[in-house]
């Protein structure tokens, strides 16, 4: 499937930068010792690559130009979330129990409309795409329902574009915070998202093209699942047999997160550990 229009990298990459800047983050206190340990290791890694691969002066200057372009194009969040975040998540997951997590990515927006347990996501009249009903339950580790758990859900449309980051899509489209019922259950009606293509016209896309990689993520639903007294889970769900499930450019697919839809319905039960 080919989209007729394509949001430019400047649209989605720069909006992701603005969104990241405005998001509320906890300050981290990092000791000089920790900064030195990590920064030294990063620099040593770079030095080793230069030695091992005989990196030349022209290549070094081209890399410098590309890094400047990446920043000026506002694509640091896109680049880091695609190529680095999966390892940060992997390390965090070492000490976590319950539903597997996955990366947040650059396109989360907080404060979306609140909807009850059985709901249809905000969408345009005649929103394109196959209908999809996503249902399930949120429980604790012992399988007890977490009444009033929240599913913060967002996903791309049937052309692979996210509201808030691509032109011409109304704010809040295919985004909501759904509150589960007393039994921890939810049933969300939406449309099947398409695979997502990294914008090809920005520095991240230029790197992908120059290296001969492909720029695609498999179709996915993004979720943050929260319940009082429990650790929130940031994750993504994928569709068995879909394109790029086995070759996600962001390396964020885990087998436990791949769902098998049947009759345009799919279900998943989330398990949250204590906070």
Which stretches of the chain bind ligand MBD, using CB under 6 A? 78, 81-82, 103, 105-107, 196, 217, 250, 252
CB of 107 to Fe ion, least distance (A): 6
Q: What is the CA radius of gyration of the chain?
A: 20
- CB-nearer residue toward Fe ion: 123 or 252: 252
Residue 106: name its binding partner from ligand MBD, Fe ion, none (Cβ under 5 to 8 Å by kind).
Answer: ligand MBD
The contacts of residue 60 (CB under 8 Å, 6+ apart) are 50
- Chain residues binding Fe ion by CB under 5 A are 105
Reported residue count of the chain is 275
Q: CA-to-CA distance for 47 and 64, rounded, in angstroms?
A: 15
Residue 175: name its binding partner from ligand MBD, Fe ion, none (Cβ under 5 to 8 Å by kind).
Answer: none
Which neighbouring-strand residues pair with 185? 137
Q: What are the CA-CA distances from residue 264 to residues 126, 213, 225 (Å)? A: 17, 31, 23
The contacts of residue 253 (CB under 8 Å, 6+ apart) are 102, 218, 236, 238, 245, 246
- CB-nearer residue toward Fe ion: 105 or 203: 105
- CB-nearer residue toward ligand MBD: 107 or 270: 107
CB of 236 to ligand MBD, least distance (A): 7
- CB-nearer residue toward ligand MBD: 136 or 195: 195
CB of 86 to ligand MBD, least distance (A): 8
- CB-nearer residue toward Fe ion: 167 or 228: 167
Taking CB atoms, the residue at the shortest distance from Fe ion is 105
CA 7 to chain centre: 18
CB of 93 to ligand MBD, least distance (A): 16
Residue 245: name its binding partner from ligand MBD, Fe ion, none (Cβ under 5 to 8 Å by kind).
Answer: none
**Tokens standing for 146?**
């977490």
**Tokens standing for 12?**
């989605």
**Tokens standing for 143?**
């399988």
CB of 39 to ligand MBD, least distance (A): 25
- CB-nearer residue toward ligand MBD: 78 or 191: 78
* Backbone angles phi and psi of 170, in degrees to 5: -60, 145
């Amino acid at each position: 499937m080919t989209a007729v229009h394509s949001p430019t990298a400047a649209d989605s990459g720069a909006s992701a930068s603005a969104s990241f800047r405005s998001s509320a983050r906890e300050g981290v206190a990092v000791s000089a010792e920790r900064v030195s340990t990590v920064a030294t290791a990063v620099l040593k890694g770079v030095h080793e690559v230069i030695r091992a691969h005989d990196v030349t002066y022209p290549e070094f200057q081209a890399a410098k130009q590309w890094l400047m372009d990446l920043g000026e194009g506002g694509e640091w969040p896109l680049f880091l979330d695609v190529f680095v975040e999966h390892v940060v998540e992997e390390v965090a997951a070492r000490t976590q129990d319950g539903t597997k997590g996955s990366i947040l990515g650059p396109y989360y927006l907080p404060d979306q409309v609140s909807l009850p347990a059985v709901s249809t996501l905000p969408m345009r009249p005649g929103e394109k795409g196959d209908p999809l009903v996503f249902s399930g339950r949120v429980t604790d580790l012992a399988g007890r329902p977490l009444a009033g758990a929240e599913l913060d859900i967002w996903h791309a449309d049937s052309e692979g574009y996210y509201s808030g980051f691509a032109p011409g899509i109304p704010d809040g489209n295919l985004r909501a915070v759904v509150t589960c019922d007393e039994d921890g259950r939810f049933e969300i009606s939406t449309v099947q998202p398409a695979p997502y293509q990294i914008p090809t016209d920005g520095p991240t896309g230029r790197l992908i093209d120059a290296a001969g990689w492909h720029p695609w993520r498999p179709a996915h639903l993004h979720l943050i699942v929260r319940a009082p007294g429990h650790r929130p889970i940031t994750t993504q769900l994928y569709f068995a047999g879909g394109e790029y499930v086995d070759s996600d450019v962001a390396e964020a697919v885990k087998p436990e997160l791949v769902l098998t839809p049947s009759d345009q319905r799919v279900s998943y039960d989330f398990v949250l550990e204590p906070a």
